[in-house]
Amino acid sequence: MNSLLPTFLQIPGLLMVFGALLVPLLPHAIRQIWMLAIIAVSVWLCWGIAPGVHMTTQLAGLDLILVRADAITRPFALFFHIAAALNVIYAMHENVRTTATAGLAYAGAAIAALFAGDFITLFIYWELTAFTSVFLILISRSERSFAAAMRYLLMQVSSGVILLAGAVILWHSGQGLNVQALDASTLAGGLILLAFGIKAAFPFVNGWLQDAYPEASVTGTVMLSAFTTKLAIYMLALCFAGTEILIWIGAVMTLFPVFFAVIENDLRRVLTFSLNSQLGFMVVGVGIGSELAINGTVSHAFASTIYKALLFMSMGAVLHRTGTAKASELGGLWKRMPLTMIFCIIGAVSISSFPLFSGFVTKSLTIGSVAKEGYFVVWMILIFASVGALENSGLKIPYFSFFGRDRKFEVKEAPLSMLIAMAIAAGLCIAIGVAPQLLYGILPYAVEYNAWEAGHVLGEMQLLLFAILAFAFLVARGLYPPQIDSTVLNTDWLLRRLLPRLTMAIARPILSVWFTALQHAKKLVMDGLYIGERASQQTGLVSGVASTGAAAGIFLAVFALLLILLFSM
């Protein structure tokens, strides 16, 4: 590593965290150069780290591993840096110090976490990502975003605390604190899996993702979409590769957000559901755990971060110009924002796995590994979820924002900085799609998979073309409702005509269970506080105030008990 930098700055990511401290002090133009320069230096540092342990320290009698790399670390570090740089470029038009500072520190913390070699170090960065990223949500400065930010923080911090508890138990059981392959059926392994699962938005602990991300600022959402969840996927791949239950968790995860995305009206929230579904593919890959599957997870994480960021960026540009991201209020923007439209469509076809775009060459690795291991049901679910991705992100997003009913928005094209960032992301999507060996070259294992096999291309094209045909048929027949009631959650044809009851039948019991549980928990806490409050007004055990006589009486009672205990032995 570079000897010019002090030791602690040689820890990957910390350069960005500490560099972020300077960000609020710099004027606008210099700040942009500074941030890009720091990211450039940081990526150069990370690229030079070969797999193995590089830096250790002692803290309070614990052996901590500050820098350690694995076979899959390099690709993750690379696309984290790419995402960080894209975020900086995307946000260049705005002069908001909080977002810039928090965004850079957040990316730095996530990168540092990739290199953490033990669970205590990981815990520190794990919480640091939470505490830096929450500012990206708070920056919206509304009641709604404040509440969402607090719920987000609660989940993130809980995840860290559960991780710490798992680590302590692991340490006590004599397995050491190093990041290692864990058994999910032990208590320590189970807790750590839960901690990772919260950040990876596993089913039932996914609420924070859809809750908080759309409440962030235009640029904040783009920053958030890249790091936290991918970090969790990375840790899952390190610790739980080949854990079978993850295959099923992942399968459920790919599937259920599809239904929620269908009934959602806020297009940025649609994207978060779709993001959740994409994460499911990666979790399935981790669960399979074969070389092919891990390759699939890593490459899919890489590609999906880029195309997901591209989609969030395009919706952010729309929100920035029009002030809304609701499907029911948008439409016909293609005349006003043609470049944004093109970039959005590139993102959309990438996530839909069109040949020659990035999703095609990465998603198929995971699906291929599932088929190879013989999980037929899971394979079916993943195919269905792919169609869901096409419907939600591939068709719904561009259709409702840029086409559909023309709302006659008098807006300009997106700012230049946003266009540049989107152009770079779109270029990456196409580059990976056209020349997959670029991506395959940095994967942990050699790739013997040929995405261009005739059967795969034909199968994929069939799937896509028939889905589009169905979509076109429904639009032509007017089954796609031309006007959408903005007071209802986004209503589209699938819900209205075909699956009206099924979706709500799934969603309603879950919601009501959570609602009831929350009501009861709140009542319990309020009752407890009420009793406590009354007690504190008067004298008693809780208030710590008693008359001298009563206190002396208690003293004697304790003395009597102590004597009874002693003499009964």
Q: List interacting residues with another protein (CB under 8 A).
A: 58-61, 120, 123-124, 161, 165, 168-169, 172, 529, 532-533, 536, 541-548, 550-552, 554-555, 558-559, 562-563, 565-567, 569
**What 3-state class would DSSP assign to 450?**
coil
The b-or-e profile of 207-228 (16+ CB within 10 A means b, else e) is: ebbbbbbbbbbbbbbbbbbbbb
Closest approach, Cβ 232 to another protein, in A, equals: 20
Cβ proximity to another protein, 44 vs 555, nearer residue: 555
Closest approach of another protein to the CB of residue 161, in Å? 7
Contact 35, 85 (CB under 8 A): no
Residue closer to another protein, measured from CB, 482 or 549: 549
* Shorter beta-carbon distance to another protein: residue 181 or 563: 563
Please say which residue, 169 or 430, places its beta carbon nearer to another protein: 169
The least distance separating another protein from the CB of residue 9, rounded to whole angstroms, comes to: 18
Of the two residues 377 and 558, which places its CB atom closer to another protein in the complex? 558
Q: How far apart are CA 493 and CA 472, in angstroms?
A: 12
To another protein, the closest distance from the beta carbon of 216 in angstroms equals: 19
Least CB distance to another protein at residue 171 (A): 8
| Residue 70: φ, ψ to 5° | -125, 175
Q: Which helix (H) or strand (E) holds 213?
A: none
Q: Which residues contact 259 (CB under 8 A, 6 or more apart)?
A: 499, 502, 503, 506, 507
The DSSP annotation for 137-197 comes to: HHTT-SHHHHHHHHHHHHHHHHHHHHHHHHHHHHHHTTS-SB-----TTSHHHHHHHHHHH
Spatial distance between the Cα atoms of 230 and 187, rounded to a whole number of angstroms: 24
Q: C-beta of 530: minimal distance to another protein in Å?
A: 10
**To which H or E segment does residue 535 belong?**
helix 500-537
> Coil, strand, or helix at residue 53?
strand
Nearest distance in Å: CB 145, another protein: 14
Q: CB-wise, 33 or 545, nearer to another protein?
A: 545
Is the CB of 33 or the CB of 542 nearer to another protein?
Answer: 542
How far apart, in whole angstroms, are the C-alpha atoms of residue 307 and residue 432? 11
> What distances in angstroms separate CA 551 from CA 22, 47, 535, 544, 556, one per listed residue?
57, 67, 16, 10, 9
3-state secondary structure of 413: coil
Indicate the burial class of 501 (C-beta count within 10 angstroms; 0-12, 13-18, 19 or more): exposed
Distance of closest approach, residue 184 Cβ to another protein, in angstroms: 20
Q: How far is the CB of 567 from another protein (least distance, A)?
A: 7
| Cβ atoms 289, 238 nearer than 8 A | no
CB closer to another protein out of 30 and 545:
545
Nearest to 260 by CA among 511, 480, 516: 511
Beta carbon nearer to another protein, 98 or 324: 98
Question: For residues 80 and 152, which CB has a smaller minimum distance to another protein in the complex?
Answer: 152
Q: How far is the CB of 141 from another protein (least distance, A)?
A: 13
